[in-house]
């Protein structure tokens, strides 16, 4: 039986809810996973994945985006980012960007007060210049020093100066908040308990996640945790001692456990530490620590974790303009949690 959460492993009971929707504006194809974690499964050598952004609106109508996916004209990224696309031989499809999708549903860009970035990589930063100058850019600790000025003001910059020029840039300083959620430094973004930014460093400088309160029923709330690129596959998060593998397993999963001397209580995959892939992760020790912390959230049935490139949840959730708020009533936590195990099956079985 799974260990239940101890009394202190709880999230703030009081708070308002926010409406949150997932927007998938783009897909990345032919993405190699080996630079992120070691894995010998045939299905996980090169993958096609979504790039989720999220729109979050609080009870007073304040509206933010969490991540911006890709830009349509990706060849206009900084030369450094374009070189990454060519180096990894990625395929990029983005016919409608986040702004196009919002406006197709009568959500005006002018109403978005901020774009909060999990991190600065090109599949998350999109094209902020498509939003009015009143839309702020919110980034994690250390991002301004590490990444600005952008291209062309700095030849090798990863981001563009146009990504932040002429708009307010707010760098989150978690030391100014005394809030901590399940061990992660946190900040109550709207001040109403509906959206917490979480410090989840490792994959990139200043990487952040977001925790959105989706329902509040008396003393019980449910949440969606937007995990950015803290993991590139749920097998880096699960199983864990807090969320052990169910006892009914396919023969492929059972044989993977046996081959790798695993007992179903530790994640299938670990953060890649091979020096040849060092450029893909800012700090692998921090990235692994972040995953351990996220396992505490994953232990709670009241939390649905969605990473930016979660292909298995893509087949389950309803996307914008539908909201994710009813995820618990719809059973998406239970139906999505172990769906990634299909990646262990031989290629011909699906
Ligand atoms: Zn990404």
The per-residue pLDDT for range 211-254, each reduced to its tens digit, is 999 999 877 899 999 999 999 999 999 999 999 999 999 999 99
CA 52 – ligand 1 centroid, Å: 9
We report the CATH number of the domain holding residue 194 as 3.60.15.10
CA 217 – ligand 1 centroid, Å: 34
Question: What total of structural domains would you count in the chain?
Answer: 1
CA 309 – ligand 1 centroid, Å: 7
Q: How far is CA 20 from CA 25, 58, 179, 268, 279, in A?
A: 16, 9, 22, 30, 32
CA 308 – ligand 1 centroid, Å: 6
CA 53 – ligand 1 centroid, Å: 11
pLDDT in tens, 333-347: 999 999 999 999 988
Domain annotation covers residue 13: no
pLDDT in tens, 115-144: 999 999 999 999 999 999 999 999 999 999
pLDDT confidence band for 2 (50 / 70 / 90):
very low
CA 229 – ligand 1 centroid, Å: 5
Rg (CA), the chain: 19
pLDDT computed for residue 1 by the predictor: 42
Domain annotation covers residue 10: no
CA 118 – ligand 1 centroid, Å: 9
Check residue 216 and report its DSSP letter.
E
Return d(Cα 174, Cα 179) in angstroms, integer: 8
How many Cα atoms sit within 13 Å of 244 on the Cβ side? 12
CA 47 – ligand 1 centroid, Å: 13
Mean pLDDT across the stretch 21-38? Answer: 93
Domain annotation covers residue 8: no
Mean pLDDT across the stretch 100-113? Answer: 97
CA 69 – ligand 1 centroid, Å: 8
Domain annotation covers residue 162: yes
pLDDT confidence band for 348 (50 / 70 / 90):
confident
pLDDT confidence band for 5 (50 / 70 / 90):
very low
Domain annotation covers residue 7: no
Q: Is residue 7 scored above 50 in pLDDT?
A: no
CA 237 – ligand 1 centroid, Å: 16
Mean pLDDT, the chain, whole residue set: 94
CA 292 – ligand 1 centroid, Å: 20
Domain annotation covers residue 310: yes
CA 335 – ligand 1 centroid, Å: 24
CA 213 – ligand 1 centroid, Å: 24
CA 226 – ligand 1 centroid, Å: 12
Domain annotation covers residue 301: yes
Domain range for 95 is 18-345
pLDDT in tens, 159-181: 999 999 999 999 999 999 999 99
Query: Using an 8 Å Cβ cutoff, are 131 and 164 in contact?
Result: no
**Residue in 39, 170, 173, 80 with CA at minimum distance from that of residue 116:** 170
CA 258 – ligand 1 centroid, Å: 31
Q: Is residue 55 scored above 90 in pLDDT?
A: yes
CA 179 – ligand 1 centroid, Å: 27
Q: How far is CA 149 from CA 160, 202, 299, 343, in A?
A: 8, 22, 40, 41
pLDDT in tens, 56-67: 999 999 999 999
Return d(Cα 21, Cα 72) in angstroms, integer: 21
Q: What percent of the chain has pLDDT over 90?
A: 91
CA 23 – ligand 1 centroid, Å: 14
Q: Is residue 19 scored above 50 in pLDDT?
A: yes
Q: Is residue 8 scored above 80 in pLDDT?
A: no
pLDDT confidence band for 312 (50 / 70 / 90):
very high
pLDDT computed for residue 279 by the predictor: 87
Domain annotation covers residue 9: no
Neighbours of 37 (CB within 10 A): 22
Q: Is residue 15 scored above 70 in pLDDT?
A: yes
Query: Using an 8 Å Cβ cutoff, are 206 and 142 in contact?
Result: yes
Query: Using an 8 Å Cβ cutoff, are 74 and 85 in contact?
Result: yes
Q: What percent of the chain has pLDDT over 70?
A: 97
Mean pLDDT across the stretch 250-261? Answer: 94
CA 271 – ligand 1 centroid, Å: 15
pLDDT confidence band for 9 (50 / 70 / 90):
confident
């Amino acid at each position: 039986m799974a260990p239940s959460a101890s009394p202190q492993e709880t999230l703030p009971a009081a708070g308002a809810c926010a409406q949150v929707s997932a927007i998938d504006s783009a897909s990345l194809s032919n993405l190699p996973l080996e630079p992120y974690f070691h894995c010998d499964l045939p299905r996980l050598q090169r993958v096609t994945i979504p790039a989720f952004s999220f729109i979050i609106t609080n009870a007073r109508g304040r509206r933010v985006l969490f991540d911006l996916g890709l830009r349509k004209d990706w060849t206009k990224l900084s030369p450094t980012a374009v070189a990454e696309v060519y180096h990894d031989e990625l395929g990029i499809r983005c016919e409608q960007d986040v702004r196009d999708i919002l406006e197709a549903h009568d959500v005006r860009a002018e109403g978005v007060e901020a774009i909060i970035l999990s991190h600065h990589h090109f599949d998350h930063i999109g094209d902020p210049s498509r939003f009015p100058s009143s839309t702020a850019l919110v980034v994690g600790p250390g991002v301004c020093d590490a990444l600005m000025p952008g291209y062309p003001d700095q030849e090798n910059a990863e981001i563009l100066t146009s990504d932040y020029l002429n708009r307010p840039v707010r760098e989150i300083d978690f030391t100014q908040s005394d809030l901590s959620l399940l061990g992660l430094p946190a900040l109550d973004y709207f001040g109403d308990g509906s959206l917490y930014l979480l410090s989840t460093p490792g994959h990139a400088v200043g990487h952040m996640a977001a925790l959105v309160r989706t329902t509040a029923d008396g003393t019980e709330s449910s949440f969606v945790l937007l995990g950015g690129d803290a993991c590139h596959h749920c097998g880096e998060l699960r199983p864990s001692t807090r969320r052990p593998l169910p006892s009914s397993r396919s023969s492929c999963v059972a044989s993977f456990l046996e081959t790798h001397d695993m007992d179903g209580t530790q994640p299938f995959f670990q953060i890649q530490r091979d020096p040849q892939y060092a450029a893909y992760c800012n700090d692998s020790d921090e990235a692994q620590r972040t995953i351990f912390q996220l396992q505490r959230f994953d232990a709670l049935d009241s939390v649905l974790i969605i990473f930016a490139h979660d292909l298995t949840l893509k087949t389950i959730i309803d996307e914008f303009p539908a909201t994710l708020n009813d995820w618990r009533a719809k059973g998406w936590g239970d139906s999505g949690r172990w769906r990634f195990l299909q990646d262990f099956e031989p290629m011909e079985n699906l």
